[in-house]
Each structure stands twice: as structure tokens, then as C-alpha cells.
Structure 1
Amino acid sequence: MLKEFRDFAMKGNVVDLAVAVIIGAAFGAIVTSLVGDIIMPIIGAITGGLDFSNYYIPLSAKVTASNLADAKKQGAVLAYGNFLTLTINFLIVAVVLFLVIRVMSQFKRKEEAKPAEPPKPSAEVVLLTEIRDLLKKS
């Protein structure tokens, strides 16, 4: 069973998937930083210095905090500012993935448009062709 698992884990598709997950996690961290550290502050500056990450609606009367972290400690809150930030994060990831896939599709179409070379015959086929040609001469 251990051998079967090793064989499965070392197949090309599994290794490719593992690499993709690691790269995806790193890409996600970059996009999160882009949204949180660059895009949302710009949007906040445009809207008068608002910080979307602290926007919330208290769901309990005892929540009186002025920031989201303290409000969560006091009771239930509806953190719609955080949701807005994560939605923008998702949209950026979706657009970037769309552009990457679009570029890859264009490259693939260019490769398909090129005439493919016929495959080289195997050594057996070459040998049989030579034998056939020798028999024709006889």
C-alpha cells in the first residue's frame, strides 16, 4: 500500500497540482497585500479617509467599540467592511487569472495554427521500408 501511495504521489499531475497550490497561496498573499495595502487605502482616501476594514454593524446592544477587533470581543458584529475588502480581493484574483488564461489560450492557438511536422517513423518502420524497397529491386 505504501508503494502504491508513493507511485500515486509521484505522478506528474499530483506534483504539478502541489506546485500550483503553493504558487496559488503565494499569489493569494500578494493579492491580499495589494488590496489591503494599496487599493483599499486609495479608495479610502477618495472617500474621505474611510477605513473599510473597520466597517461593521453591531448585532448586540452591548457592542460599543470603535474598531472591529474590539467590537468582536464585545459581541456579535456584521463586518461588512471586511467582506467588501475580500470581495475586491476576489475580483482582482479573478481578473488576473482571466488574463493569464487568455494569454495562454492565445499561445496555444498560435501553436495549433503552425503546421505540425509528421512524426518520424520508428526504427522498425524504417527497416521494413528498406526491406520492401530491396524486394522491389529484386
Structure 2
Amino acid sequence: MPEPWTSALSRLGRDLRARQYGNTIEHVDWEIDYDPEIDGVFLLSAVTVAGVDPGEFGGSWIGTRVDSDKEFALWAMADSVQNVVADLGTAWPWGDDGGFMSARLIDGVAAWKDRNGVTTRMGDLTGVV
């Protein structure tokens, strides 16, 4: 995996540990499928939640390139995994005031947006809600 993607995965993992609501996420598997028609990749994830059978690979099907920068790769990973986590009956990331946050790419920076419109740079979530 290219260095920017490894760094993005580290930031995403930090947030994944910080804010969950519902069952505990135990493990995330990643799959990158190359599509020669777009000369790019699709990110898929499979999530294992405590007390639930491992999920199937799925995601948002955002096309990206292997040479994408860290922020774009991070946003694409977060968008992919948040949908899979929600399908398993838990919510992540969870906002300070409750509610599910969603992945956004704002002026080239990967961020979470909560239900009140407040944004937080990915990798900066703190505490356990």
C-alpha cells in the first residue's frame, strides 16, 4: 500500500477507536479492486462487530487512484467503512451531541460532519462517547 494510504489508514484507525455507539468494532478488512476502465481502484471493507457474524465486503464504491493524496484516500476509506459499519447495526463515528457523522472532503481535507454541521478533521476525534 502506498505511504499516503498507510498514513490515512492510521488516522482512520485512531478515529475508529475513539467514537463508536452500539456494539464494539473488533476488526476491519480492506479490499482494493482495480478497474482498468477508469484506471483506478474501488475501496471495499468488511467489518467484524462484537457479537455479530463478520460482515460481507461492501462500501460506497468511490473510485480513486492508487496515487491519490492522503486526504482523498482517507475520505474514500472513511466513506466506504462507515456504510458497512452502519449496516451491522452500530454507528461510527458518533458526534459529541449524539448522532452519526458523515465523511466529507472539504477544500481537500478529509473531515467528519455532524448533524449540526460541525466539522472535525479526520484523525482528530478524541474521547469515547
Q: Highest Rg: 1 or 2?
A: 1
Shorter-chain TM range is under 0.3
TM-score calculated relative to the size of structure 2: 0.23
Q: Pick the structure with more helix per residue.
A: 1
